Amino acid sequence: MKKIPVGIVGVSGYTGLELLKMLLEHPHLELVYAANTEGGVRVGALHPSLQGVSDLSVEKADPKEAAKRCELLFLALPHQSAMEFAKEVLSLGKKVVDLSADYRLSLERYEAHYCPHLDKDNLSHAVYGLIEWAREEIAQARLIANPGCYPTATLLGILPFIPYLDEDSSLFVDAKSGVSGAGKKLTHNTHYPTINENLFAYSPLSHRHEPEIAEKIELWGKKAKKVNFIPHLMPLTRGMLVSTFARLKEPVDAMAILRGRYANEPFIRLRSSPVEIKAVAGTHFCDIYAMSQGRDLWVNSAIDNLLRGASSQAIANANLMLGLPEGAGLPRFAYAP
């Protein structure tokens, strides 16, 4: 079977590196185009871990050149830059998996939390790529809004319970991420003396992923829920642990509800005890555990923030868009011990 040519725009960051690693060994996709804003370097120089693995040239990003050579483009660009590139590539008849926030939200919510939207036409038909909840739509899509890492871990855990929740209660989400989720650019929070041997909340009740979580609960749960989202930064390179607290209408068997929804999902692992980051780091799996006491519900989920929360989810979405096996090229073995 001839491999399908694909490209990455934005190879310099952590998600770009993860895409490179998976695509270089993908059984059905051929990486023929790698680009960033400057070009003029090889991937092995940009990412020393790839020296001796690939000598692919990194080019200066050009939508026309990318569309000429690729059937599908992965965009690992900042918000706003992504939609500018995507708009032109889509007009040339190619498919796009966008890892930024540019197509994840409704126009009103996007402009309230990010910036004026520059591609309203494509926004209207973008599909939110949470695979277990939108598999059929993804397979028919030309443009995928790859979900954020915090929303992925939160939504996969809480969505099966939405019909069972008290109508008037709020959700409380306690989320903890490794430092790689903040990207390569150094900030005070990610500076080693700040994060080492430390743990702290940031942007409590005001993080941009809060409206993303709320909007998708309304989309798939068919009801609006108030989401109180508090993210934390941990002194880990990668991994994400989310605890969601909710109020039930009446007592339920929490794990039975999860089994009923996810029994046949190959990349959802239902655990018999609280989840841990080390079991998912380096993989596409989402591990979930839940328990209730009376009407109080706790849902516990873990993912690799760079993989299931970004790059491997993008690969899985591309697989479906291109008619390939969903699990092709996805990492399954954790970085353990």
pLDDT in tens, 229-238: 999 999 999 9
Taking alpha carbons only, the member of 181, 200, 186, 127 closest to residue 308 is 181
For a pLDDT cut of 70, what percent of the chain falls above it?
100
* Rounded Cα–Cα distance for residues 18 and 241 (Å): 20
Name the catalytic one among 70, 115, 149, 286. 149
The per-residue pLDDT of the chain, averaged, comes to 97
pLDDT exceeds 80 at position 272: yes
pLDDT exceeds 90 at position 48: yes
User: Interhelix angle for 311-321 vs 14-23, to 10°?
Assistant: 50
**Burial class for 186, CB neighbours closer than 10 Å (0-12, 13-18, 19+):** exposed
Taking alpha carbons only, the member of 13, 18, 8, 15 closest to residue 335 is 18
Mean local confidence (pLDDT), 4-23: 97
Say whether 115 is catalytic.
Answer: no
Least confident of 29-38, 115-124, 138-147, 178-187: 178-187
pTM: 0.97
Please report which confidence band the pLDDT of residue 337 belongs to, taking 50, 70 and 90 as the band edges.
confident
Q: Which residues pair with 59 in a beta bridge?
A: 35
pLDDT exceeds 90 at position 1: no
Which pLDDT value is given to residue 139? Answer: 98
Which pLDDT value is given to residue 312? Answer: 98
- One-letter identity of residue 185: K
Taking alpha carbons only, the member of 1, 9, 35 closest to residue 314 is 9
For a pLDDT cut of 90, what percent of the chain falls above it?
97
Compute, in degrees rounded to 10, the torsion defined by CA atoms 30, 36, 42, 47: -90
The values of phi and psi at residue 147, to 5°, are -65, 155
* Rounded Cα–Cα distance for residues 248 and 37 (Å): 49
Which pLDDT value is given to residue 294? Answer: 98
- One-letter identity of residue 294: G
Mean local confidence (pLDDT), 149-156: 98
pLDDT digits (tens, 9 = 90+) for 226-265: 999 999 999 999 999 999 999 999 999 999 999 999 999 9
